[in-house]
Structure 1
Amino acid sequence: EPFDGMIIFARTKLGTEELATKLQARGFAAVAINGDMAQQARERTIEQLKNGKIDILVATDVAARGLDVERISHVINYDVPSDPESYTHRIGRTGRAGRSGDAILFITPRERGLLKAIERATRQPVAPLQLPTVKAVNDVRIAKFKDQITEILAAGGLEQYRSLIEEYEREQNVPAVDIAAALAKLGRGDVPLLLEKPDREAKPEFAPREQGAWEDRPARPPRDTRDIREQREPAFKKERVVREPEPGMQTFRIEVGHQHGVKPGNIVGAIANEANMPAKYMGRIEIYDDFSTIDLPDDMPQDLVDHLKTVWVAGQQLNMTRDGEALAAPSPKKKGFTKPGADRRMAEKGVKKPHRKG
């Protein structure tokens, strides 16, 4: 996408430096600024951004305070801000002096709660963008490459180079077009002009959902049992049989069971939809009378678990907890029923759980 000046926001000093280095390796005039930079160096860097010597500034929120550069056409939130106020300050860096500007936010499925908070605070929806295909990116690069050739030809001052090329062509008997191609490659260094098409492209319908966040994980070893979507419901169980989850997995408890009419497919569908997690990353599901357990990746972040707590399945809120946590703290269901040894089902008798309307 064409841009004039750009600020990319990263959360940490290390993040700014790593990202700036990668951009520089791809031929972009990018520099990182962060809180550790001396004031004099910071001012010099900002001045270079203003006069066009630098096109991309990779910054932390602290380092970007007070920054005012009119030529900023794009603000990229590489790391989502932790609060809506920071987001507002970030995107305010673009569109200065009556100019148009674009703000782009990179978001992972686990950060959707922050996205919703931003939308509520700004009172504007953040429209999803379709990731460009390899062909679309290459078409833009080719057009830009041709434009650069046209600009250099129009600027003139090529006489010295022309005589050298003619001399080389006579001496080596190499066509001029091959010499031009070699010079173009020399100018780009190790950075290829065009992207290579991946061996397997993501399915288009998954692109807006950012399923790649889970595809980066190695798949679990296949089980001898059938796919969880084909598992039959276990019979009603009075006692739970505790089993160790597979390596890399952890057991989670959800407060919906047989008495609510839930089936394995309901649980899989809800988690797949709300967490953008393919079913192949889910493990064993056990359904009991009034609760169920499911094995999920053991590195699932707490904020995603907190989000899944609020999800409704079969008319019940999941209230998901890591297995064992529910035993360590009093269950909300037992509030008011503290008689020692009281049967759990008797304690809950007459307590009607709220059902989601609609």
Structure 2
Amino acid sequence: MSEHPEITPSTDATFASLGFSAPTLAAVEAQGFERPTPIQAQTIPLMLAGRDLVAQAQTGTGKTAAYGLPLVERVDAARAEVQALILCPTRELAVQVSEALYAFGRPRRIRVVPIYGGQPIDRQIRALRAGAQIVAGTPGRLLDHIRRQTLDLTHVRTVVLDEADEMLAMGFVEDIETILRELPAERQTALFSATMPAPIARLSQRYLRDPSRITIAAHARAVPRIRQSYYQVPWSQKTDALFRVLDMEAPGPTIIFCGTKRVTEEVAEHLRGRGCLAEGLHGDLSQRDRDRVLRRFREGRVELLVATDVAARGLDIETVTHVINYDIPTDVESYTHRIGRTGRAGREGDAITLVTPRELRQLQFIARATRAEIKAMRLPSDADIALRRRELLKQSLVDVIEAGGLEPYLGAAMDLMKTHDPAQIAAAALKLLGAREDADGAATPPEVSAGARPEGGMGRLMLTMGRDEGLRPGDLVGAIANETGLPGQAIGAIDILDHHAFVEVPEAKADDVMRALERTTLRGQRVRVEKAPLGAEGDGSPAGRRAAPRMRRGAGGERSGVGHAAAGARPSRRPRVSGKGE
């Protein structure tokens, strides 16, 4: 095999400079990609030029876009013929690749069909007959279609072998060779593999023509001496996992890294919706907006900074306590850069990564390359979060004791000890402290989180009765339906806390429901009802600041955090997170 010199990508490369048409650039923009990764910067020009290539790169380096974007650029959308074929080792990867290429090709209406075992073959046959320009599939099922003559390879111009070493390990080499022999002789072939065992090297020598070789080197990198851990979660549960981690960690200033601008904005919006003081930082921001976000983060008016790698380049804020990789980084250099934002100036730091099952290989590669121990963690349960809250409450009392100035209260404490056990007094103080934290230190009923806004057309009411008084959701629904004639399906979300409850009803009926509930009794008790106060997130209003759980400074500047999920105060919904008020 004749090897062309390894290409060194320009650090200034952009997707626009790589030669894409306007529709493809529009797809790139829609995906929120900022700059090409190293594998993309090297691969895309060769793919666009029709060259054969062998690329050695780890999972998670952005190789799907490295070959996918050139494929959608080169296929003829006007021809309902299979023009590109992608071989994948597993059905999960075939589906993932198909979804990515469909998104890339949406502006040009390019059709992509995934072909894999476990799905009815007649459904795949119908999809192929409807016409598709790109097919991504597993070798076994692709061979089935070839033998049935339901997959026409006559017009295939490009074939991609994705994760070739995995297909080798799964025993697909013979199937791959059979498929390659069925393809037109005049074609472009691209092989991607994390490793290059001898059978894969022989395969490339036999079926690729004078290929260029691209290697994304895996150099060992030293990483800061900080605690590193990961949580394995399905993609669909990442947002919930992020909230649970924040509840458990009760962090100080934190940077949450995402892979694209789009995900950055989505995560920042979710955090703000839950009452967090969060801002996004990505390449679409003007320099003025970037400076504003960073200033607010440095000043503590923003607790959670959600950023892309490019936007956070060179960021140096000594007070960052945690880095959370919402998306796993694409390479070792990105990982070391990210986690290097914490543990600065001799401080301790934590780096936490959320990974899907498919991304474990990439994380293991990062761990080997950095010679770091990245500890597997179990996602916190509600009970874990409740226990954590109690620990933080205890630490808050210790902070107050160590800060001194308790003389005015010692007399009252001594009086209480005459009639009550000291342990009971301490427990009551903890319970009172937890309740007061939810109200930001004010002796008022807990206010609704900014993240719990009613849906459009609905009003939210607060009742002075809760779980400790025996109130159940059915009691509320029954009382409202019986007293107002409002059907049960018209009643919205219900949150029942210890001594208060919230219920959503149609805004036009809110006053009627309030009057009706105050005329009747719930479980034999009279209740007071009022419209729940709503503070817009981040507006500095009291309600906007008092969302729970809190992340605030304790005595001496240490971090403490308090959440709804205290013992005996488990919320009906997921605990909400918030930052300290501005």
TM-score tier, shorter chain, comes to 0.3 to 0.5
Q: TM-score, normalised by structure 2?
A: 0.27
Query: What's the TM-score once normalised by structure 1's chain length?
Result: 0.43
